[in-house]
């Protein structure tokens, strides 16, 4: 059976529960779901297919290099792993109504961090059907991964997950 690693943060919220939905919908893969708090180099090296999930939060959380920045520690850990043979897909949650100028900006951070480490990034998703003004998580009409809004479009989540899995399935080994 094919396998994948689903890495996410934060725990116990929409990012976590969407991770469960992705695992359920990706039935032909054995997917191990791990919070960024429980990762190590060996676990990352064990998997060739990665799904990375997060939410868009204030820029200080992404950019500040202090002990409270969980993503910063994860990105430092990535420096110990050869990503050139890893296939990586992202999903991001955001609120397109309250934050229409920064919708799923976190996908842009993921893209930047994985691109500079030469990972094989897959799963770009169309911006059609969303209501926002701008996002650092997109380019040329496509998000860098699956964008979800559990606050204002939860009824579209399952369908979007299904379509996105169909898209990335062909790239996962």
Location of structure tokens 């809004």 = 149
Q: Read off the pLDDT band of 62 (50, 70, 90).
A: very low
C-alpha span between 1 and 15 (Å, rounded): 25
For the chain, percent helix, then strand, then coil, each to nearest 5? 35, 25, 40
Q: Read off the pLDDT band of 69 (50, 70, 90).
A: low
C-alpha span between 110 and 52 (Å, rounded): 8
103-to-28, 95, 120 alpha-carbon distances in Å? 31, 6, 24
Q: Read off the pLDDT band of 68 (50, 70, 90).
A: low
C-alpha span between 59 and 46 (Å, rounded): 31
What SS3 class is residue 6?
strand
pLDDT of residue 61: 43
CA dihedral angle for residue 76, residue 82, residue 83, residue 84, rounded to 10 degrees: 150
Tell me which fold the domain 2-169 belongs to. Rossmann fold (3.40.50)
What's the pLDDT tens digit per position in 12-25? 889 999 999 999 99
How would you class 79 by CB atoms within 10 Å of its CB: exposed for 0-12, middle for 13-18, buried for 19 or more?
A: exposed
What's the pLDDT tens digit per position in 148-170? 999 999 999 999 999 999 999 99
pLDDT at 64 > cutoff 80: no
pLDDT of residue 53: 97
Location of structure tokens 């030469």 = 118
What's the pLDDT tens digit per position in 81-122? 999 999 999 999 999 999 999 999 999 999 999 999 999 999
pLDDT of residue 75: 94
CB-based contact 125:139 (threshold 8 Å): no
Query: Where are the chain's structural domains?
Result: 2-169
What's the pLDDT tens digit per position in 5-15? 999 999 888 99
The count of residues in the chain is: 173
């Amino acid at each position: 059976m094919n396998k994948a690693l689903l890495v996410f943060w934060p725990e116990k919220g929409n990012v976590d529960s969407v991770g469960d939905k992705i695992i359920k919908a990706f039935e032909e893969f054995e997917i191990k779901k791990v919070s960024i708090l429980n990762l190590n180099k060996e676990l990352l090296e064990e998997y060739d297919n990665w799904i990375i999930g997060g939410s868009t939060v204030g820029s200080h959380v992404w950019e500040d290099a202090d002990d409270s920045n969980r993503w910063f520690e994860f990105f430092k850990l990535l420096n110990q792993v050869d990503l050139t043979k890893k296939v990586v897909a992202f999903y991001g949650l955001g609120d397109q109504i309250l934050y229409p100028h920064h919708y799923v900006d976190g996908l842009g951070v993921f893209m930047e961090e994985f691109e500079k480490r030469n990972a094989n990034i897959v799963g770009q998703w169309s911006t059609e059907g969303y209501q926002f003004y701008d996002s650092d998580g997109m380019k040329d009409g496509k998000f860098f991964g699956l964008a979800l809004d559990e606050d204002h479009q939860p009824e579209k989540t399952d369908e979007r997950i299904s379509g996105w899995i169909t898209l990335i399935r062909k790239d996962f080994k």
